[in-house]
Structure 1
Amino acid sequence: MKGTQIILDHMNGREAAALMIDGKLQDFLALSDTPRPGTIYRAIADRPVKGQGGMFLRTADGPAFLRQGKGLSPGQTILVQVTGFAEDGKAIPVSQKVLFKSRYAIVTPGAPGRNISRSIRDDDMRDSLLCLVHDLLDDDETMGLILRSSCEGGLQDAIVDDIEATLSLARQVMADAEGSMEVLIEGDTPHAEAWREWADPADIVTDAGGFETHGVIDALEELRDISVSLGAGASIAIEPTRALVAVDVNTGRDTSPAAGLKANMATARELPRQLRLRGLGGQITIDLAPMPKKDRRIFESALKTAFRRDTIDTTLVGFTPLGHFELQRKNARIPLNTLLK
């Protein structure tokens, strides 16, 4: 099916959302039992991690870990926000940098500033949005505001209502910093996150059984396989381990001099989608197909372009002495194999 569809349905009794573009699954969100990213806690500092600058915290949902805990004292009350999903047996990852995300804006308490997405390039629109921001924030120097790229296609009244609601929520939460451990705000559910993040024009499907009729179930079943075809006989194998995610690039039967480069370039284009759908993050090591060292820059440029369009923070670390390429990716999703059990 041509075009873009956002399918809002349930899988195994859990709320879920899928993004399909031209009949191909591009993103998938599903509810889990773990605290969702975006959840805001009033937490209690518990004990520092010597030599690392981190701090373990107590929250209403269990232990959490704050990487930058310098200056905190045990027993101190702080506001923190969940930044990703915790691996089994590990503390919830949190940050003191609390953000309030909506469809059109991001409110940044304690980081004043007025910014507009760089993808909005029309000068008249930027000027109009900047005036809108100044009117809404007035002289408030405690809140910062970032207008997202979705503002470009939004109606001004909808943008204003969205920003006002987000600002009101941010002020209410930040004023509630004192007290015992508590969940102040829960992170968005899959349907709410789909509305917030998938802002491009699309057909919205809400009928029960939408995953089955639009091919989402079949696409998810294919992701159970570690092997992914790249076309022309090339493929990659994606295998998560406890330490890292290993990606092995294979050229297949192609023995031409350019086979390695072609397979590696196809990997660069496909890898962000595969990692996003499979919910994989952490340390990622790519065992590339053989290619001349002079072609490494071409591959790295293609990989950088592909991940620039991805919504999950990924750092391209670079080549190792053995010729592997390493990445560091935020654990922003629950692994798909956990959701499909």
Structure 2
Amino acid sequence: MKGRVIVLDHLGDRQAAALMVDGQLDDLLVETDAPAPGTIYRAVAERPVKGQGGLFLRTPDGAAYLRQAKGIAQGEVLSVQVTGFGEPGKAIPVTTRVLFKSRFAIITPDAPGLNISRRIKDDDLRDTLLELAHEGMEGSEMGLILRSSCAEADPDDVSADIADMRAMAETVMADDSTTPEVLLRGDDPWQLAWREWSAPADVAQEPGVFETHGVLDALDAARASHIALGAQASMYVEATRALIAVDVNTGADGSFAAGLKANIAAAKALPRALRVRGLGGQITMDLAPMPKKERRSFENALRAAFRGDDVETVLAGWTPLGHYELQRKRARLPLSEVLT
């Protein structure tokens, strides 16, 4: 099936959203028991972590961990936001840089200024959006970012989104209580799909649509580590306790260019493979053999592939053994944990 389809259904009793692109599962969001990224807490500072510059906080959902906590005293009350999912048995990762994010607008309480996404190039449109930003944030000291999704949006919808996010931010940031509390829950999978999958798409929401649109079959395939890359090449994506291992193979193709072709195909397929499987952390790629002079071509393909991915990923570079390393934010729980 060609085109984009957003499929909203349940996996067991868990709310879930799937993005199907040309018949392939391109992204998956599943409700979990852990606090959703974007959740905002009123938290109380507890003990610092010596030598690491971090600090443990007390929240209603358990211990949270704040990096770069210099200058924060024990017992101090903070507003913090969940940034992702911690490793099993570890504290909830949080930041003091709170954002209020919606489909079109992002309110930044600690970063004043009005900004338009750089992806919007049309000068007339940028001027129009800047006018909306000034109108919507008049009298406020908070900052605003208008997202690239505004390019195709109705101006009235953008204005309404700015107003809603501003009102929410002002309410939350005005809180002055001193006990740990949830101030705002992060978006559920359906809300997150509406917020982040803003490109034109059909929407399917009837009961059982995961089966009729091939989502369940795609999930069965995603449970396996093997991913075909076309022709005879393939890669394996396997999670260990320490890192995510990616092994790229050319198969029976013994031609001179086989290694580069397999590695570029792996670069293009890797973001989708990680998104669907919910994998993050340290990633090490054991690539198919190719001349060192071809590394630049592989790097360009990898950089282009991750440019369209919404999960923060650092392309760290080559190791002395010729592996390529990445560091990816743990923005989702692994599929293996969600579907157990």
Bin the TM-score by the shorter chain: over 0.9
For residue 58 of structure 1, what is the aligned residue in structure 2?
Answer: 58
Give the match's secondary structure for 1:231.
coil
Shift of 1:177: 4.0
Give the match's secondary structure for 2:29.
strand
For residue 104 of structure 2, what is the aligned residue in structure 1?
Answer: 104
Write the deviation string for residues 226-274 of structure 1: whole angstroms up to 9, x where unpaired. 1111011111111111110000011100001111000000000000000
Find the aligned partners of 2:161 and 2:138 in 1 and give their Cα distance. Answer: 17
* Runs of 4+ with deviation above 4 angstroms: none
For residue 114 of structure 1, what is the aligned residue in structure 2?
Answer: 114
Write the deviation string for residues 283-338 of structure 1: whole angstroms up to 9, x where unpaired. 00000111000001110111011001000000000000000000000000010011
Find the aligned partners of 2:68 and 2:229 in 1 and give their Cα distance. Answer: 41
For residue 326 of structure 2, what is the aligned residue in structure 1?
Answer: 327
Give the match's secondary structure for 1:86.
coil
- Say yes or no: does 1:188 pair with 2:199: no
Shift of 1:339: 1.4
Q: TM-score, normalised by structure 2?
A: 0.99
Shift of 1:21: 1.1
Letter in 2 for 1:38: G
For residue 11 of structure 2, what is the aligned residue in structure 1?
Answer: 11
Find the aligned partners of 2:280 and 2:146 in 1 and give their Cα distance. Answer: 27
Letter in 1 for 2:71: G
For residue 316 of structure 1, what is the aligned residue in structure 2?
Answer: 315
Write the deviation string for residues 49-89 of structure 1: whole angstroms up to 9, x where unpaired. 11111001110000000011110111110000000012110
For residue 41 of structure 1, what is the aligned residue in structure 2?
Answer: 41
Find the aligned partners of 1:316 and 1:74 in 2 and give their Cα distance. Answer: 36
Find the aligned partners of 2:37 and 2:226 in 1 and give their Cα distance. Answer: 29
For residue 80 of structure 2, what is the aligned residue in structure 1?
Answer: 80
Find the aligned partners of 1:104 and 1:140 in 2 and give their Cα distance. Answer: 18
Shift of 1:119: 1.2
Find the aligned partners of 1:260 and 1:340 in 2 and give their Cα distance. Answer: 35
For residue 232 of structure 2, what is the aligned residue in structure 1?
Answer: 233
Write the deviation string for residues 75-131 of structure 1: whole angstroms up to 9, x where unpaired. 110000000012110000000000000000111001001111111111111001001
For residue 127 of structure 1, what is the aligned residue in structure 2?
Answer: 127
Q: Do the aligned residues in 2 keep the contact of 1:78 with 1:177 (CA within 8 Å)?
A: no
Find the aligned partners of 2:54 and 2:180 in 1 and give their Cα distance. Answer: 19
Write the deviation string for residues 1-60 of structure 1: whole angstroms up to 9, x where unpaired. 111111111011110001111111110100000000000000000100111110011100
Find the aligned partners of 2:113 and 2:297 in 1 and give their Cα distance. Answer: 37
Q: 1:206-245 residue pairs with structure 2 within 5 A? A: 206-245=205-244
Find the aligned partners of 2:231 and 2:205 in 1 and give their Cα distance. Answer: 37
Find the aligned partners of 1:87 and 1:268 in 2 and give their Cα distance. Answer: 26
Shift of 1:136: 1.3
Question: How many residues were matched structurally?
Answer: 340
- Say yes or no: does 1:253 pair with 2:248: no
Q: What's the C-alpha RMSD, in Å, of the aligned pairs?
A: 0.7
Letter in 2 for 1:326: E
Find the aligned partners of 2:261 and 2:205 in 1 and give their Cα distance. Answer: 40
Q: Do the aligned residues in 2 keep the contact of 1:5 with 1:202 (CA within 8 Å)?
A: yes
For residue 162 of structure 1, what is the aligned residue in structure 2?
Answer: 161
Q: Do the aligned residues in 2 keep the contact of 1:42 with 1:177 (CA within 8 Å)?
A: no
Find the aligned partners of 2:187 and 2:23 in 1 and give their Cα distance. Answer: 26
Letter in 2 for 1:30: V
Q: Do the aligned residues in 2 keep the contact of 1:55 with 1:65 (CA within 8 Å)?
A: yes
- Where do 5+ consecutive residues of structure 2 fail to align? none
For residue 94 of structure 1, what is the aligned residue in structure 2?
Answer: 94
Shift of 1:178: 3.0
- Say yes or no: does 1:173 pair with 2:177: no
Shift of 1:224: 0.9
Over the matched positions of the two proteins, sequence identity in percent amounts to 61
Q: TM-score, normalised by structure 1?
A: 0.99
Shift of 1:140: 2.1
Give the match's secondary structure for 1:333.
coil
Give the match's secondary structure for 2:253.
coil
